[in-house]
Amino acid sequence: MIVVCSDTHGRDGHRLTEQLEADVAAADLVIHAGDFVTETALLAFEDATAELVAVHGNVDEQAVQARLPAERTLTVDAVNIAIVHTVDGGTTGLATYGRAQGADLVIFGHSHRPGYEWTGELGLLNPGSHAEPRQFRPGYATLDIDGSVVSGALREPDGTTVARFEQGGEDRR
């Protein structure tokens, strides 16, 4: 299982609670789409995970920015994933960014609004913020990838499933 987080906005630690904390500990991979804020929060995430792949966000302090890139890509099974904190241009900008990266899935943060959208070519996933949801529900995502099929869920920190999505296979959605 892959756990996806963003927008921790932590000063003293990872701010993981409830089922999210258990899922992060059990995950094969944790992806974080930026805005840890402090190096202490980043270190706490690293300590809580078996493997962390992350980018820095727009409010991350210099120590975090020095350790993490602004964007990155990785491949899990046959799925190319692009990770970025934010891209100008909304859905169109994110889709354009994803196509330029050869991505099947773009993971991003910044808005704190959890959601998944299929663009007709690739998926756009914002896990939301587990710790600073602002006017949105707190959130994170879980992913299972099998070949080119991504099965995912948006969840609240207590583990409640808010929405499910799937993309891939022959129809790519």
**Counting beta carbons within 10 angstroms of the beta carbon of residue 142, is it exposed (0 to 12), middle (13 to 18) or buried (19 or more)?**
buried
Q: Is residue 16 domain-resident?
A: yes
What is the mean predicted confidence (pLDDT) over 120-124?
96
Residue 96 covered by a domain: yes
pLDDT value at position 173? 43
pLDDT at 123 over 70: yes
pLDDT(7) > 50: yes
Tell me the residue range of the domain where 114 lies.
2-167
Answer whether 167's CB lies under 8 Å from 105's CB. yes
Helix (H) or strand (E) holding 43: helix 39-48
Mean pLDDT of 109-122: 96
Name the domain count of the chain.
1
pLDDT digits 0-9 by tens, 20-52: 999 999 999 999 999 999 999 999 999 999 999
Flag whether 53 is in a domain. Answer: yes
Q: Which residues pair with 76 in a beta bridge?
A: 79
**What confidence score (pLDDT) does residue 10 get?**
87
**Distance between CA atoms of residues 149 and 53, nearest Å:** 20
Q: Is residue 76 part of a domain?
A: yes
Identify the CA nearest to 4 among candidates 173, 144, 168. 144
Would you place residue 170 in the very low, low, confident or very high pLDDT band (cuts 50, 70, 90)? low
Say if 131 falls within a structural domain: yes
Name the band, by pLDDT with cuts 50, 70 and 90, for residue 118: very high
Residue 84 domain-assigned? yes
Question: Does 142 score more than 60 pLDDT?
Answer: yes
pLDDT score of 172: 46
pTM score, two decimals? 0.96
pLDDT at 59: 97
Q: What is the CATH number of the domain that holds 123?
A: 3.60.21.10
Residue 67 pLDDT = 98
Residue 173 lies in a domain: no
Tens of pLDDT, residue by residue over 154-165, are: 999 999 999 999
Measured from the Cβ of residue 64, the count of other Cβ atoms closer than 10 Å reads: 23
37 within domain boundaries: yes
- Per the prediction, the chain carries an average pLDDT of 95
